[in-house]
Amino acid sequence: MDLFKAMAEAVIEGDEERTVSLAKEALTKGVPPTEAIEKGFAEGMKEIGRLFDTLEIYLPQVIISADAMTAGVEVFRQHLLGQEEDLPKKTVLLGTIQGDVHDIGKNIVKIMLESNGFKVYDLGRDVPVLNFIEKVKELHPDIVGVSALMTTTMVHMPKLIEALRESGLRANVNIMLGGAPVLPEWAKKIGADGYGASAMEAVRVAKRLAGLQVEEKGEEA
């Protein structure tokens, strides 16, 4: 369908006006929002992810495309307001662990997850273990994603997993780790469910953990 192709292209070009107008066109034509997003906008973002993976484009272009997609998706969301139907979302609670202020990696993962249809609750940087626990209780995310850049902060990651266990929350949530000093074998050892060495790998792992379709193999913890 040409409309889907145009939607994908608008995302790739980062053309916010066009994603908005194409979303409206899709609604006028009676295309279900979920189908339009999946076959249109998401395809464009998939290509953006591929181009970023190979560094044919850089982060600013990814952000522009992600903003364009968000604007388009917002049209569908507004349309569905007040209706029983809503856009299905898997949720990720994201944060840089206690003591760590380095959050570029986490921010890139956030952009890529949102662009791939996840609802992300970003707790920011230097997030105490107890805050993660409180937010898991409040928001019931499908996945908790945690990053660290320093060896002195990654030691809080096993504490978080243990705290989730003690709170009886561990069985209902997947844990995904990332960050420069975090190695996949260590993530597995401390009981994480997934590990992402890059933003795109984090998306693949998150999709697997959330039970969504995964086209390429992600690294497992």
Can residue 217 be called a binding residue for other proteins (CB under 8 A)? no
Segment 9-48, which members bind other proteins (CB under 8 A)?
none
Q: Determine which residue in the list 13, 25, 47, 53 makes contact with other proteins, applying CB under 8 A.
A: 53
Q: By three-state DSSP, how is residue 142 classified?
A: coil
**Under 8 Å between Cβ of 197 and 50:** no
C-alpha distance across the termini of the chain, in Å: 39
Closer to other proteins by CB, 200 or 210: give it. 200
Can residue 58 be called a binding residue for other proteins (CB under 8 A)? yes
Q: Determine which residue in the list 20, 163, 169, 183 makes contact with other proteins, applying CB under 8 A.
A: 183
**Under 8 Å between Cβ of 12 and 65:** yes
Segment 137-176, which members bind other proteins (CB under 8 A)?
150-153, 155-156
Stretch that binds other proteins, among 22-30, 70-78, 131-139, 180-188 (CB under 8 A): 180-188
Name 16's Cβ contacts closer than 8 Å, sequence gap at least 6: 67, 68, 71, 72
Can residue 130 be called a binding residue for other proteins (CB under 8 A)? no
**Strand-by-strand arrangement of the 90-96 sheet:** 118-122, 90-96, 143-147, 174-178, 194-195
Q: In the stretch 83-122, what mask flags binding to other proteins with x, by CB under 8 A? A: ---------------xxxxxxx--xx--------------
Binding site for other proteins (CB under 8 A): 52-53, 55, 58-60, 63, 98-104, 107-108, 125, 150-153, 155-156, 180-181, 183, 198
